Amino acid sequence: MRELANTQIIGARSSTLLISAVQEKDRTIYDAHNTNSIGALIRHEGGPKTSDSEADEAYDYAGAAYDFYKEVFGRNSIDNNGLKLDSTVHYREDERFPYENAQWADGRMWYGDGDPNQTNRFTIDLAIIGHELSHGVVQYEGGLKYQKDTGAMNEHFADVFGILVKQYHFKETAEQSNWLIGEGIWKENIVNGKAIRSMKEPGTAFGPDPLVGKDPQPDHMSKYHDFGTCVDPRRCDSGGVHINSGILNKAFYNIAIEIGGNAWEAPGHIWYTSLVNLPNNPDRTTFKDLANTTFAEAGKIYGIDSKQQKSVYRGWKDVGIEITRP
């Protein structure tokens, strides 16, 4: 796994947070049997376990993500309108090779089994599934074009809500969480293979390792990776979407720790309303726009110069992003 959710779907911006009258969890799991098809239905809402770890994790963790969005933000599924949660496990893009990834695409989830020499199954961590489904939430809230800084913000929102899904499900405070995305994904032979990303310490999740290299994420704007003109997205991570997002992740971690307690409460609500109220420029929104929006939303929700708003200001400043005060 080098990246998560390499998808570029842009949806229409939602103008309200109103909830649909119908709110029911509706999950279906399909088995692609190592093909690139949707596969055969093997579990539906309310159905029994399958004895397939990947299928049952996909089912259970999709339910955990649904519950998080409903109970914490009052959101009716991924699209806020009761979208079914469809997932395909044992998927391969190319049937000759294992699929070392998970992604949200075409309105559903796709999970690979991983590389037998490097990675485990991609349903192994609730934060991965929360991350991928959160790409859908970003899509339905207006989207952020999946390249360069807007793509890094897309990845950042998915990481934030992915870890919050996990913290909420296991009732971990900000201080108790390890802030790892993709915990357990690496095989034992990978050096320092803690996870795919660390929001607490970007750049420390894995390696240096001869097979997978070194976690490249920076934790400060002074270490920002500028890829210039990105000709081949596969070689430059679409302009650093999974790399420079580490700076934003570190800011959120700073803020959650300073505020303390449950990160899905004040920090989570600030970030959720900020996603809804970001400037409607899906290909031009900047890191500074995001920082300014979170600062403004913190003031609206908790009050000007509140502890929460001051924490937002300091959290961004600590990663080299200065908020423009009104």
For 17, 39, 274, 283, the CA distances from 200, given in Å and listed in that order, are: 30, 38, 21, 27
176, exposed or middle or buried, with CB in 10 Å at 0-12, 13-18, 19+? Answer: exposed
- Which of 54, 132, 172, 183 is labelled catalytic? 132
Note if 183 is an active site residue.
Answer: no
44 is catalytic: no
CA distances from 224 to 221, 242, 268, 287 (A): 5, 12, 25, 12
Residue the block writes with tokens 């496990």: 89
| Annotated active-site residue in 131, 156, 169, 242 | 242
Residue written as token pair 């600030």: 270
Give the 3-state DSSP-derived string for the chain, with helices as H, strands as E and coil as C.
CCCCCCCCCCCCCCCCCCCCCCCCCCEEEEEEEEECCCCEEEEECCCCCCCCHHHHHHHHHHHHHHHHHHHHHCCCCCCCCCCCEEEEEEECCCCCCCCCCEEEECCEEEECCCCCCCECCCCCCHHHHHHHHHHHHHHHCCCCCCCHHHHHHHHHHHHHHHHHHHHHHHCCCCCCCCCEECCCCECCCCCCCCCCEECCCCCCCCCCECCCECCCCCCCHHHCCCCCCCCCHHHHHHHHCCCCHHHHHHHHHHHHHHHCCCCCCHHHHHHHHHHHHCCCCCCCCCHHHHHHHHHHHHHHHHCCCCHHHHHHHHHHHCCCCCCCCC
Active site (catalytic) residues: 132, 242
